[in-house]
Amino acid sequence: MALDNHHTRVSKFVSLVLRHDPAAAGITLDPQGWASLSALIDGAAKAGVALDRAALAVIMAESDKARFELSDDGERIRAVHGHSVDVETHGPAETPPDILWHGTAQRFLPAILTEGLTSGARRFVHLSETAEMAREVGARHGRPAVLTVSASDMAAQGFAFYRSSSGVWLTPAVPSRFLTQA
């Protein structure tokens, strides 16, 4: 189910704050990216964004992107991945599956196939466990293209992989030699 306009606006604001600019809500993130949920709600109000626990529950239940997680006690919140701020939301490095996928827009293929995948403003490249998930990601940016990543070959050569709580695989970069167009 899709979010309505209000919840989409709130979700985008929470993403901005928890992934890129905590100061937009006047909050700070701990080293693992957690923030006080109460502080986030108060900061959103000061920024003119109507956020409460009920709206957050709708966003978390209805969004297909699993962007946020609550602490076990429900008092803290963090973005799962996609940060440009310096936080560590992942656990230890893990052995990836043999193949992972990356979704992008067709218009980016020439540069990616030449230069590889870089994290850009984010801390990690995001990889999917299925080609279909990657296709959905690519479709958000235009006509989708899917790349196959030889993750086991990368891991054998010392590249680190992390798995977020939402199932997205993270790695700092993917050199072009590990990519093929699916």
Verify that 49 and 120 share a domain, yes or no: no
Q: What's the pLDDT tens digit per position in 45-84?
A: 999 999 999 988 888 887 666 788 888 898 999 887 776 7
> Which residue range forms the structural domain that includes residue 65?
5-79
- With 0-12 / 13-18 / 19 or more C-beta atoms within 10 angstroms meaning exposed / middle / buried, residue 159 is middle
d(CA 70, CA 60): 10
Q: How many domains does the chain have?
A: 2
Final residue belonging to a domain, choices 79, 114, 129: 79
Tell whether 72 and 106 lie within a shared domain: no
Q: Please write the tens of the pLDDT for every residue from 84-135.
A: 777 666 677 899 999 999 999 999 999 999 999 998 777 789 899 999 999 9
Distance of CA 116 to the CA centre of its chain: 19
Q: Are strands 35-36 and 76-79 parallel, antiparallel or unpaired?
A: antiparallel
pTM for the whole structure: 0.61
Whether 63 and 129 share a structural domain: no
Write down the pLDDT at residue 2: 63
